Amino acid sequence: MITIKQEHVASIPVLHIAQEQDRLAQLPLVFFIHGYTSAKEHNLHYAYLLAEKGYRVILPDVVYHGEREGSIDYKTRELKFWEMVVQSIKEIGVLKEEFERKSLILDGLVGMAGTSMGGIITYGALAKYPWIKAAASLMGTPYYQHFANEQIKALSKQGIRLDEQEIQMQINALAEYDLSVQMDSLKQRPLFIWHGEEDNVVPYPYSKKFYEQVQALYQTKRENLAFMSEKSVDHKVSRSGIQSTVEWFDKKLV
């Protein structure tokens, strides 16, 4: 039987999903991060399918989302997008240490995945943490600084005034997590990329371009890089995309 438990790990609200009989055993662990304006509960279908395969899955709430939403308004949250991304990357490190301390991770097998903002966070975590053994980014982009500049342009068109000097400092600070400028940090780790070609939230060309650029780094382990795109699909992962994500971890996080 698969069980879902609400927990607070290092003060971070999470859903902890695993097969009940193995809950206290060492298992391969997958962190799955939700999208912008979403919450941890919205990705339970991924967690269930992964738990069926024998994984421990941790779904955290990103700051200003779900249990952590508080009274933040739309405009403020929009302006804090990259702050949320960076904080989430740091919190993944904290969560990993906690599960490691509890001896619940099998042989250091830690995976990472996410949708939209969660896919973006996944790329940043890959840039930061060499201990991530396999990953899947769904509807994300690794081009942090470029995407941030595009978001600023969009906010300006909405009449939201920004302090240019402060914004530039924030964009410069993203370089540490920008996988597009440090692709060699992947070190041929298994990476699955999914994107709908009609996505107008996180544009599809980001994923296509990154896949084309990073292929050269996977010459000796081509089987560790996979790209799946779907025509006539917008900013929502298809059933085949979900199933392929689960199959990816079942093959690569072992």
Beta bridge partners of 115: 138
Q: 112 near 92, Cβ under 8 Å?
A: yes
pLDDT higher than threshold 90 for residue 160:
no
Q: Which CATH architecture has domain 2-252?
A: 3-Layer(aba) Sandwich (3.40)
CA-to-CA dists, residue 180 to 89, 97, 214, 227, angstroms: 16, 26, 9, 16
pTM: 0.96
What mean pLDDT do residues 170-196 have? 96
The helix/strand/coil state of 211 is helix
106: pLDDT strictly greater than 80: yes
CA distance 204 to 167: 25
Structure confidence by residue, pLDDT tens digits, 78-100: 889 999 999 999 999 999 999 99
Closest alpha carbon to 91 in 192, 143, 13 = 13
